[in-house]
């Protein structure tokens, strides 16, 4: 029997409760999920790749259900290449709105062209997180707005440290 391994790629800068919701809802679907942190320095990240991976590793035990292994890794380059190297059978993506769907559909079709054996699985964002994005959380936070309940408490504390 083959391992049902998925990757959940993203910048996770910062990790949001929307990301955690997608991870939680993916747990029953796979034997292993690799949270794949994209190293893209051009995005002007708040946290380094190492910091993002460490934060995710600290938070994941809170959502682990025992049936699905959760792994954190980082990558640069094409998602399809990383998925192939890690022998994933699926790429998990969250969709918040129609605009996400249009972008994600193009990405899924390109990933399929690059690696036909890997399927993309779309999960709809929970209503309470349908407007939450990492970029919006950074913007609101740096302008003094509250992000409580939209990012994990540990992430909010680390964001506060970054602002000092």
CATH number, domain containing residue 82:
3.40.50.620
- What are the φ and ψ backbone dihedral angles of 56, each rounded to 5 degrees? -60, -45
Q: How many residues does the chain have?
A: 164
Mark whether 112 is an active-site residue.
no
62 lies in which domain range?
A: 5-163
What pLDDT does 127 receive? 92
Indicate which residue of 19, 52, 93, 158 is catalytic.
19
What pLDDT does 1 receive? 59
- What are the φ and ψ backbone dihedral angles of 50, each rounded to 5 degrees? -60, -40
Indicate which residue of 5, 93, 96, 138 is catalytic.
96
Q: How many domains does the chain have?
A: 1
Mark whether 158 is an active-site residue.
no
Tokens encoding 162:
């970054």
Residues of the chain with pLDDT under 70: 1, 65
Mark whether 19 is an active-site residue.
yes
What pLDDT does 42 receive? 79
Mark whether 43 is an active-site residue.
yes
Indicate which residue of 52, 93, 134, 138 is catalytic.
134
């Amino acid at each position: 029997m083959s391992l049902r391994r998925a990757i959940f790629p993203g910048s996770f800068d910062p990790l949001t409760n929307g990301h955690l919701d997608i991870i939680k809802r993916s747990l029953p679907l796979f034997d292993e999920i690799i949270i794949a942190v994209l190293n893209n320095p051009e995005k002007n990240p708040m946290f380094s790749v190492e910091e993002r991976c460490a934060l995710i590793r600290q938070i994941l035990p809170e959502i682990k259900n025992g049936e699905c292994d959760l792994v954190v890794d980082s990558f640069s380059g094409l998602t399809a290449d990383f998925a192939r190297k890690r022998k994933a059978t699926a790429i998990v993506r969250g969709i918040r709105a129609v605009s996400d769907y249009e972008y994600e559909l193009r990405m899924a079709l390109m990933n399929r062209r690059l690696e036909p054996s890997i399927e993309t699985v779309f999960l709809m964002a929970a209503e309470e997180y349908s407007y939450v994005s990492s970029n919006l959380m950074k913007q609101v936070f740096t302008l003094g707005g509250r992000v409580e309940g939209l990012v994990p408490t540990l992430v909010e504390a680390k964001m506060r440290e970054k602002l000092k």
